[in-house]
Structure 1
């Protein structure tokens, strides 16, 4: 654990100690980037101390991450980073692909011009981070793009389901851009999404988004 924390290369202390969401965000990033690997036991005393927070906000953060599906409670071990099986990952990506296919169709029908412009602005910011090879900021903008697109589709049940699946697949989606070629391919797919959004071509946008999720599985399956 200590070696993993030292490798972060940045101060770990949380400035606003009372805000458990900041603690959850820091631990979430550590899981996504692989500093806390699947199956790793969360040592509350050590990690809370390194983050500079008390046990109360730390445990609240763990509950948040457990609700997202990133952490599981294991008898005799306590909290551990959840390890997904290949079958679980494939099933979730398959379902998410169908959900985002529908989201693509609906957003082109229902979103306002301002919402379409918002999605395109997010896309442009993603490209800026890609050109700078800033992987984590790119990833977070990418997640926000998919979340907002789902929200703008105007179907609360779709939005809720997409959010639940996306939360559980955070680490997996980050792995999908683990090398330059995979990342560049994913960005090319997002360029196709942006083009479809500009034309409000819901059928094309849905197809591209479904293909994007299918390609994510192809990019990560050898690592599971």
Structure 2
């Protein structure tokens, strides 16, 4: 594998629309973040600026500006004279960050159950059913985007700005791993079950119940991610042997 190239099977679809000049900076950041979340750019992968510029239809200046933003978010590592690569979390970082997120999600749920408006609950229900439709179509990307929207709206409904700021920062580092946690069908179906229970708790305004579900939901994702990483590390070790 050449460090300067994006793997041939992992290149974004050729029909992906080029980035519009309006809101160029934010759009480039969003595109690259999505590449990382969905595994188009894998953890540890060295980024090829020329190929990314061609894929997005941009020059190197906005690309480098976007990479600085993603580096500040902890998604990209930039080393002098070596360029940028996708950050790869250690096992300890994964374990500790998921533990932190489980607490943030649990607190969000407890507050949201008390403070959420009827309109917000209706919106979450709509996202839930759209998410289920994606599951029946085996559309992991569509499922994940709606899944994350649900978690995000629960956090917003907590109406705690300090919690919101911390949640967004921590969650950005975990999004790619949360996406990967659904690679196995049983894990995916377990997540669906959890979301069914979350919705019931929200409808009942049962903050304690929702808090418990969300905490365990995130810890289950932690365990799924660590299991996947352990298998991949073992396979990589056999290849090197």
Farther-moved stretch of structure 1 (110-119 vs 154-163): 110-119
Match of 1:10 in 2: 14
1:105 and 1:206 in contact (8 A); partners too: yes
1:21 equivalent to 2:26? Answer yes
Farther-moved stretch of structure 1 (24-33 vs 179-188): 24-33
1:39 equivalent to 2:80? Answer no
1:173 equivalent to 2:173? Answer no
Q: How does 1:119-138 map to 2 (within 5 A)?
A: 119-138=124-143
Q: Name structure 2 gaps, 5 residues minimum.
A: 230-241
Farther-moved stretch of structure 1 (119-128 vs 198-207): 119-128
1:86 and 1:221 in contact (8 A); partners too: yes
- Partner SS state of residue 192, structure 2: helix
2:18 and 2:55 in contact (8 A); partners too: no
User: TM-score, normalising length from structure 2?
Assistant: 0.86
> In structure 2, how many angstroms separate the alpha carbons of the residues matched to 1:212 and 1:159?
19
1:213 equivalent to 2:218? Answer yes
1:58 equivalent among 59, 63, 69? 63
1:184 equivalent to 2:175? Answer no
Q: Name structure 1 gaps, 5 residues minimum.
A: none
- Partner SS state of residue 169, structure 1: helix
Q: Displacement, 1:97?
A: 0.6
Q: 1:165 to 1:2 in 2, by over 3 A?
A: closer
Q: Displacement, 1:56?
A: 2.0
Q: How does 1:84-103 map to 2 (within 5 A)?
A: 84-103=89-108
Match of 2:111 in 1: 106
> In structure 1, how many angstroms separate the alpha carbons of the residues matched to 2:162 and 2:52?
36
Q: 1:4 to 1:103 in 2, by over 3 A?
A: same
Report the RMSD for the aligned CA atoms in angstroms. 1.7
Q: How many residues align?
A: 224
User: TM-score, normalising length from structure 1?
Assistant: 0.93
Farther-moved stretch of structure 1 (121-130 vs 195-204): 121-130
1:108 and 1:197 in contact (8 A); partners too: yes
Match of 2:233 in 1: none
Q: 1:70 to 1:4 in 2, by over 3 A?
A: farther
Q: Displacement, 1:23?
A: 2.1
1:153 equivalent to 2:169? Answer no
- Partner SS state of residue 222, structure 1: helix
> In structure 2, how many angstroms separate the alpha carbons of the residues matched to 1:11 and 1:155?
40
2:29 and 2:66 in contact (8 A); partners too: yes
Farther-moved stretch of structure 1 (192-201 vs 108-117): 108-117
2:6 and 2:48 in contact (8 A); partners too: no
Q: Displacement, 1:5?
A: 6.4
